[in-house]
Every structure is written in C-alpha cells, then in structure tokens.
Amino acid sequence: MCGIVGYIGKEEALPILLEGIKNLEYRGYDSAGFAIVGDDKKVSSEKAVGKVAALFEKISGRSFPGKLGIIHSRWATHGGVTELNAHPHSDCAGKIWVAHNGIIENYKELKKELLGKGHKFKSETDTETIPHLIEEEIKTLSFQEAVRSALKKIRGTYGLVIVNSDEPHTLIAARNFSPLLIGLGDGEYIVASDAAAVLKYTKNVVYLDDGEMAVMTPSSHKVFDLDMNHREKETHVIDWSPELAQKGGYANFMLKEIFEGPEAVENSVRGRLIAKEGLVKLGGLSDSLPLLRDAKRILISGCGTAYYAGRVGEYMLEEYGGIPVEVDVASEFRYRKPVFREGDIFLAISQSGETADTLAALREAKEKGVPVMGIVNAIGSTIARYTDAGVYQHIGPEIGVASTKAFVSQVSILALLTILIGRQREMSLVTGRRIAEELKKIPDMIRRVLKQNDEIAELARKYQKFNNFLYLGRKYNLPVAYEGALKLKEISYIHAEGCGAGEMKHGPIAMIDENFPSVFIAPQDSVYEKMISNIEEVKARRGPVIAIATEGDEKIGEIADDVIFIPKTLEMLTPILSVIPLQLFAYHFGVLKGLDVDKPRNLAKSVTVE
C-alpha cells in the first residue's frame, strides 16, 4: 500500500509528480523519492525519509529537468524505513528505475539468481529485484519486451511505473492486484495508484486490470497483456473532487476502510497459507518455530480494538492450538506485576505499533526475559522494532481513528497463528486444512455482509432515538460484543456496553426495558441455543433486539425485532464476519448524528502517551 505516480508529456515532470504524490500520501508516508529522466538521457533522483514534506524540503531551490519521471511514497513492507530502501529503485547501471506498490513474493529466489549473475543490490527491498531483472532481460530484448519478460518471472502483487534513461520518451506501467490507472491528458499521461493524483490535470482515466501493462509515449498509449495481446480499454470519466478521490469515492475513510475488510484479510493471509497441507508459513516467525513449539503459555496484550482481537485469539489458540493463553489490556498488564514462567511468550497486537501502553507492556515482558513477538501493521514502528519476531498485517495505512479493517486482519492472523501452533501440537491435518480452506473463503463472505450496507443504514435510522445499547455475545463473539459497543461509543458518543450474554442475568438485565435495545451476536454455533434463551429473556422485558445471525436461520427472526445475516463459517472465524455489521451500524449512527466519524472527539489514532 504505497502511492505511485508516473508522468510523461510536454511539461516539466517534477512539479506534477510532487503535486500528485501529495494527494496520495494517505496511502503511505514513511519515505518518498523520485527519478526524472531528462531529454539528454540523464537521470536525477532524490529520496528522503519521512513524509513527502521532508522530500520537498530536501530539494527546495534545486532543479530536476525532464519531462518523464516517476515518484513514490512508501508504506514499508520489506526492509526498514531508510533512504536506501525508499523508492524508486534502479539497476546496476542507474538507467532503469522502478516505483512499486505491492509485494514480490519470490524476490529471495530472484535476488539470489541475480546476485549470482553479478548484480549489485543497494537496498533490502523486494522491489529492487525488478530493475535488475529488467537489466538482465534488456541485454537481448527491447525495453518493452524486457519488462514483459521480467514480469513473467515475478510472483506477487504489483502496481509499477518504470522508466529507462536510454528511452526518454517511454513510460511503462503494469498492474497485478495493486491499483493503477492512467490519466489521459492533452499530450501527456499521468499514471497513479488512484485518481486523487490525476484529477487536477484530467478527469479521463483508463483503469489497468490485473496482468496488464501499458506503454506510453507523449502522444500515444497502448495496453497489452503479458503475452503482448493488445487490450482495448474503456475511458472512464471521473467527476469526484480530489478530496473525495483520496477516499476512493467513499464519503470518509472509516467507510472506505470497512469496505476494505475483504482486501485486508486477503493481504494478511496471502502467501502464508499452505491450505493443502493444512500448514502456515509466517516468514517473520520462521526463526522462532522451536520457541513456539516449546511454548507453554502465550500472553497477549493490546489496547482498544487490538485487545479485543487478542481476546478472540485466546479462544482460537486454546481451543484449536492447545496452548494456554492469557489476554490483558496493556495498561493493566504493565502495572499488575504479572508472574512470568519458563515457556511464556508475549504477543503484542497493535495496528500503529506505537501505542504507549502496549509498548510498555512489551518492555515489561522483555525486561523479564520473556521472548516478545508482535502482530503489527506499521512497518518499522517502535513495537515492530522492539519485538524479537512477528507478523506484519500488510493492510496499508488505517486513517479513520476507530480501527476497523485492522481488526479483521488481526483476527485472521491469529487464525494463522492458531494453525501454526496447533499443527506443532495435536491439531490434525484435516483440521488444519479445514481452517485454512475456510479462511480463504472469508473475504468473499465479508463482501456478502457488506452488501447489506443499505439495510444496516436503515437500521441505524430506526434506532437513532435510543441513547443506550447493550451488546451481548458468548465465546468467540463475546469480544465482538465488546468491540461493537466500543465502535458505537467512539463514533456516535452513545452509551453502549458489551457483556457476556451469560452474565446478563447478574446485573445488566436490570436496565432492560422498551427504551434499552440489545444487540445479540448470535450465529449458529456451539452457544446458539443459550443465546436464543437470552434473547427470550430480553424480549420478556420488552427490550428491542437486533440480532446478528447465520444466513438461513429462520427461528431467530421470530423473536428478534431486526436481524442482520452473516454467512455460515467455522465458529472460530465468525468474529471476522459478525464485526462488519457492527462497524457499519456504528458508522451510520455517527453519520446520522452529523458527527465526524473519521476523527471522533477526544480520541487519537495512535495513543503515544500513557
């Protein structure tokens, strides 16, 4: 998840590239860089760590002439946040320059081969294999053919812009699972990861599809597949404002990120499941496999949404992984003098990797000699650097303050970890395979849930008049009840309480009357009958009930006032589906109240203070 822009045309490239990348900064902002090719075939490049502003500052007052160029703002995936790892990357001769969004899965093999052929690498990135690969191919092929041939050797995801100083009138772009479009200007083309970068110059765009590459000169563009078959492309006219474009056409980042749930799960799971063998390969944990095999207990810690993801992980890891787990909110863990034992492993969960309480809990464990691991989204963040090993979420930046896509990703990674740890213990091949196969189906299942967005908006409208909500769940969906209540509190400032449905009779039920609705997360799982009884108890006290239920469940509709359905899946994976309607419900509730759902009052995206 990075921002890339390429320009070819009649104007000086750099100002257009800088303007474009500023609009894409929300896609990644740990470092930035560009390469400009002059008519004299000279390349000038500059890179800087930090936000795009740092690059602006570095080049101020200098000139970089040329009407062809590429620029990139990075969201690190492979290699730390350094100037050397910032894009674009070049070949040995400094002629071929590439900016890339995505992950090259087979880069280690390719790099080994290229090193064997004498190529010299400057960065630790997966991307740098691409210019070297093209450099190898171009010895016998044209630029265009060399790019095509290199792409055929690559396995993974990419949005690419590529220039070659020997051809100062050609820009090449290619796409596989990472977004890329071409803005069609008057005697110029602007390629970008999304429309926000091109709208100032043109509203006419061509969207590249997976497996396509485009070759542009200042006066022409052609799109091919990787077998060089010509592709006819439709021109789309976009009438979004640049601001709306940043949000991909969604009204705000929160909604966009909820809708990115399927992609978040795909990105977190991609290349990590060996479904046929019921196994999991997590690169960041490969050196820790013996430690995990000998582990006697896992201590999970996090804050807010990350903590609730950890609570789902507790159920998964104990039931299927066969290992004891304890989960603490990080702010408690650090003060309650936890007793550590031989065989403990500490696992921090944090989207930002910067949450002060989570970091403090991590330090506490590490100082006591406990091996520390992490599930983190932000590459190179403090928690990522401080842990001995870990798993990155690979979901791109989450901008909305209330965490949404990070939760589904974290739970998916905990499912991967469950397979990994479970298979080291008693989990059978059949069970490992079953979880893996089902996990692969989850993104499409989320898409099905998202289709009910309009119905959920309607539900939010219907329940607007209420000021208190109770969210109830059991087992895997108890943490989802807490998370659903947290979302409503954060986004709409409405009082909501999460509660174990079994615990309701010990207090919360006293609040129930016709003005106090309950949200029951009640899929058809091992605690379904108990949940139905709890719904009956609430209905007996005239409490309005919204239920999240399994598709095809007719019984629940007879007792609940409103039902939102989720597809049937393994019990341990239901939280990834059941949380979606709750995110949407909170979202619509906040919007209807006229609130800023991306930046709720009093909250911060990354809480770096205690």
What is the rounded distance in angstroms from the CA atom of residue 20 to the CA atom of residue 199?
Answer: 9
451 vs 601 by CB, closer to ligand G6P:
601
Stretch 92-121 residues interacting with ligand G6P (CB under 6 A): none
What is the rounded distance in angstroms from the CA atom of residue 381 to the CA atom of residue 376?
Answer: 8
- With CB under 6 A as the contact rule, the residue among 45, 178, 252, 351 that binds ligand G6P is 351
Which residue carries 């196994």 as its tokens?
279
121 vs 386 by CB, closer to ligand G6P:
386
Tell me which stretch binds ligand G6P (CB under 6 A): 14-22, 24-32, 362-370, 396-404.
396-404
Phi/psi at 117 (nearest 5 deg)?
-90, 5
Considering the candidates 2, 22, 47, 475, report the single residue annotated as catalytic: 2
Is residue 607 part of the contact set for ligand G6P (CB under 6 A)? Answer: yes
Interface size with ligand G6P, residues (CB under 6 A): 16
What is the rounded distance in angstroms from the CA atom of residue 409 to the CA atom of residue 395?
Answer: 8
Is residue 267 part of the contact set for ligand G6P (CB under 6 A)? Answer: no
92 given a catalytic annotation: no
Tell me which stretch binds ligand G6P (CB under 6 A): 90-98, 211-219, 283-291, 397-405.
397-405
Show the CA angle centred on residue 558, arms to residues 557 and 564, nearest 5°: 10
244 vs 360 by CB, closer to ligand G6P:
360
CB of 72 to ligand G6P, least distance (A): 25
Q: Exposed, middle or buried, 174 (CB in 10 Å: 0-12/13-18/19+)?
A: buried
CB of 260 to ligand G6P, least distance (A): 15
Two tokens, residue 564: 């939102």
CB of 207 to ligand G6P, least distance (A): 32
351 vs 550 by CB, closer to ligand G6P:
351
Closest CA to 86 of 133, 77, 95, 94: 77
Is residue 492 part of the contact set for ligand G6P (CB under 6 A)? Answer: no
- With CB under 6 A as the contact rule, the residue among 68, 298, 395, 402 that binds ligand G6P is 402
CB of 599 to ligand G6P, least distance (A): 10
CB-based contacts of 369, cutoff 8 Å, min separation 6:
340
Tell me which stretch binds ligand G6P (CB under 6 A): 93-101, 154-162, 346-354, 453-461.
346-354
Tell me which stretch binds ligand G6P (CB under 6 A): 285-293, 301-309, 521-529, 541-549.
301-309
Per-residue binding string, ligand G6P, 452-471, x by CB under 6 A, is --------------------
71 vs 401 by CB, closer to ligand G6P:
401
Tell me which stretch binds ligand G6P (CB under 6 A): 12-20, 176-184, 286-294, 401-409.
401-409
Show the CA angle centred on residue 593, arms to residues 590 and 596, nearest 5°: 55
- With CB under 6 A as the contact rule, the residue among 23, 90, 157, 355 that binds ligand G6P is 355
Neighbour tally for 120: CB within 10 Å: 9
CB of 394 to ligand G6P, least distance (A): 15
Which residue carries 């609040």 as its tokens?
511
Cα separations (Å) of 486 from 403, 491, 586? 10, 9, 9
Residue of closest CB approach to ligand G6P: 304
CB of 566 to ligand G6P, least distance (A): 22
Q: What is the helix, strand, coil percentage profile of the chain, to 5?
A: 40, 20, 35
Per-residue binding string, ligand G6P, 470-489, x by CB under 6 A, is --------------------
Is residue 305 part of the contact set for ligand G6P (CB under 6 A)? Answer: yes
2 given a catalytic annotation: yes
CB of 96 to ligand G6P, least distance (A): 38
Read off the amino acid at residue 323.
I
Closest CA to 277 of 483, 428, 89, 471: 428
Tell me which stretch binds ligand G6P (CB under 6 A): 119-127, 210-218, 400-408, 509-517.
400-408
CB of 587 to ligand G6P, least distance (A): 13
Is residue 606 part of the contact set for ligand G6P (CB under 6 A)? Answer: yes
Closest CA to 43 of 164, 191, 146, 142: 164
Pairing of strands 372-376, 273-274: unpaired
Considering the candidates 47, 111, 256, 605, report the single residue annotated as catalytic: 605
- With CB under 6 A as the contact rule, the residue among 79, 304, 396, 523 that binds ligand G6P is 304
Is residue 401 part of the contact set for ligand G6P (CB under 6 A)? Answer: yes
Is residue 301 part of the contact set for ligand G6P (CB under 6 A)? Answer: no
What is the rounded distance in angstroms from the CA atom of residue 240 to the CA atom of residue 245?
Answer: 6
Which residue carries 């060399």 as its tokens?
146
CB distance 362 to 346 below 8 Å? yes
Is residue 350 part of the contact set for ligand G6P (CB under 6 A)? Answer: yes
Is residue 595 part of the contact set for ligand G6P (CB under 6 A)? Answer: no
CB distance 110 to 133 below 8 Å? yes
List beta partners, residue 206: 182
Is residue 352 part of the contact set for ligand G6P (CB under 6 A)? Answer: yes
What is the rounded distance in angstroms from the CA atom of residue 348 to the CA atom of residue 368?
Answer: 15
CB of 490 to ligand G6P, least distance (A): 7
184 vs 347 by CB, closer to ligand G6P:
347
What is the rounded distance in angstroms from the CA atom of residue 471 to the CA atom of residue 101?
Answer: 39
Is residue 390 part of the contact set for ligand G6P (CB under 6 A)? Answer: no
Collapsing DSSP states into helix, strand and coil, what is residue 512? Answer: coil
Omega cis (within 30) before 479: no
Tell me which stretch binds ligand G6P (CB under 6 A): 71-79, 270-278, 349-357, 432-440.
349-357
N- to C-terminal Cα separation, the chain: 30
Closest CA to 185 of 172, 198, 160, 202: 202
* E strand segments, 212-281: 212-217, 220-225, 236-237, 273-274, 279-280
Is residue 306 part of the contact set for ligand G6P (CB under 6 A)? Answer: yes
143 vs 482 by CB, closer to ligand G6P:
482
CB-based contacts of 402, cutoff 8 Å, min separation 6:
254, 305, 487, 490, 491, 586, 597, 600, 603
Which positions lie near ligand G6P, rule CB under 6 A? 303-306, 350-352, 355, 358, 401-403, 603, 605-607
Residues annotated as catalytic (active site), given as ranges: 2, 605
